[in-house]
Amino acid sequence: MHDLPPIQRALAASLAHDLARAGYRSRSLRELWGAVADDALLRGDAVPAHRALTRHPDSALATLASLFFLGDEVDVHAAERALSRVGVDGAAQLGLARRVGDVVQPSAVVRPYAFTDAQGDGHWWIASDLDELAGVSPLRDDHVLGVGGAGRTLAGLLGEDPVASALDLGCGCGIQALHLSRHAARVVATDISPRALWITSLNASLNGVSGIETRLGSLFDPVGGEVFERVAANPPFVITPRAEGVPVYEYRDAGLEGDDLMAAVVGSVGEHLAPGGVATLLGNWEAREDATGLQRVRAWVDGSAVPLDAWVVERERLDPARYAEVWVRDGGTRPGSEQYDSMVGAWLDDFGRRGVTGVGLGWVFLRRPADAPTLARYEEVGFAAGAVSGLVPAALAAHDRLAALEDDGLAASTLLVAPDVTEARHHIPGAEGPSVLELRQGGGLARTLEVDSALAAVVGACDGELPLGVLVDAVAQLLELDGAALRAELLPRVRELLFTGFLGFA
């Protein structure tokens, strides 16, 4: 890390003071440049925001937004006014800006990040490398990514119960380490990139967060022999051909063939989980001519030296051509160029050699049980990720309770419909009753389940008052069905509804 400046906590605190004084927060920026410009930024279009900021030449907030959000150079006098405590020289010592004549140029972006968790609303400033939004293309090979949609999703999937220790594997800018620090007494953040570790330490200092230890190394090498109660990983899982002319971006590519990185992480993480510990991973995996993607992930889990509970969700599958296009564009190479065509061809050749028919994108939840594993769930769930906070702990808790509950115990339980569940009825014109009944989730995995009238009636009656068995018997009597037969049919389906969050124990 000899080429990276030392982290000076006093200077970081001074910069935080300047950012706070100017009101440099997500909501304030949206108000400054307007909803239209804000929505355009989400699409990678900074032009409306640039134009809006020119209307506020004397605003410290506009100056900071130009410099640290959009990556523009600004007048040195305006920068000194906006950075009155840390100063332009202090920002330069932090490695975030540089003075060039009469202007100040950014060396990195520092963007506001708002979130909500069990402790309430929170706000951080997150530094990362200059990106396409800041006009940099193609990206540097050791580019450190800021907070994107995947990072936000992973943060929402992490459990928030207090733990003694947590590991952020492949920390990047450190966003997961920061989230883990909210409920873990000790956090270790690892990465193969010295620059990523430096930015993680900078972000911790900038936000006044202590207790995050950074370690350099590949995968689990920096934590050999250690176990953690929680592991988070958004590793460099992008499947990339090992071919001339295809750049290796450290933030997304570990330099291995195919999905070998995911196989290594899934197969080894159990050795670093304390009993009861949970690993939450994002990843990609190949579907091949001889096995689906989920079958291959299951083989990795089964090959773990430590037996694990597993819940794997494949939320999307891309064909090889589409996958190649996504990641060639991600590096800043645009269609129509000779380089673009060559790189897409390299991806397709690489997939062809292994018989790849598609690539799955999804989530992997692994837990080290105290005894033998009882959960092995591998499923395709196509959805747009919504409010996933608390999803995993709730599902695992429901599974554990159900695993210890015989059918008689389940029938004696009182249940509640989740508040985000609605029922949809589809009628053929002129028909007396609905032809299709559906239960729909508004949050979580936004599942839609087709149900029959008996199950719909039972779910609708789950208000926490009467035991499940009483409700099933009442529905059987109403529909003139055999009560014992209906119990045998519905109780397994109710178990599924409890795991997936349509129902909860009262």
* Helices of type H across 292-381: 293-302, 320-330, 338-354
Q: What value does the CA radius of gyration of the chain take, rounded to a whole number of Å?
A: 26
CA 237, CA 251: separation in Å to the nearest integer?
9
CA 442, CA 90: separation in Å to the nearest integer?
47
CA 19, CA 16: separation in Å to the nearest integer?
5
CATH homologous superfamily for 148-385? Vaccinia Virus protein VP39 (3.40.50.150)
- The residue type of 102 is D
Q: Supply angle C-alpha 338, 344, 348, rounded to 5.
A: 140
Return the pLDDT at 389.
80
Q: Closest by alpha carbon to 491, among 479, 467, 480?
A: 467
Return the pLDDT at 385.
54
The CATH code belonging to domain 405-505 is: 3.90.930
CA 33, CA 501: separation in Å to the nearest integer?
39
Low-confidence ranges of the chain (pLDDT < 70): 1-2, 383-387
- Per-residue pLDDT reduced to its tens digit, 202-221: 999 999 999 999 999 999 99
Return the pLDDT at 2.
47
Return the pLDDT at 383.
67
Return the pLDDT at 1.
42
Measured CA distances, 189 to 95, 181, 210, 489 (Å): 21, 11, 12, 48
465-470 long-range Cβ contacts below 8 angstroms, 24+ apart: 465/414, 466/414, 467/411, 467/412, 467/413, 467/414, 468/410, 468/411, 468/412, 468/413, 468/414, 468/415, 468/494, 469/411, 469/412
Please tell me the number of Cα atoms within 13 Å of 45 on its side-chain side. 10
Domains of the chain, residue spans: 9-113, 148-385, 405-505
Return the pLDDT at 70.
97
- Per-residue pLDDT reduced to its tens digit, 278-302: 999 999 999 999 999 999 999 999 9
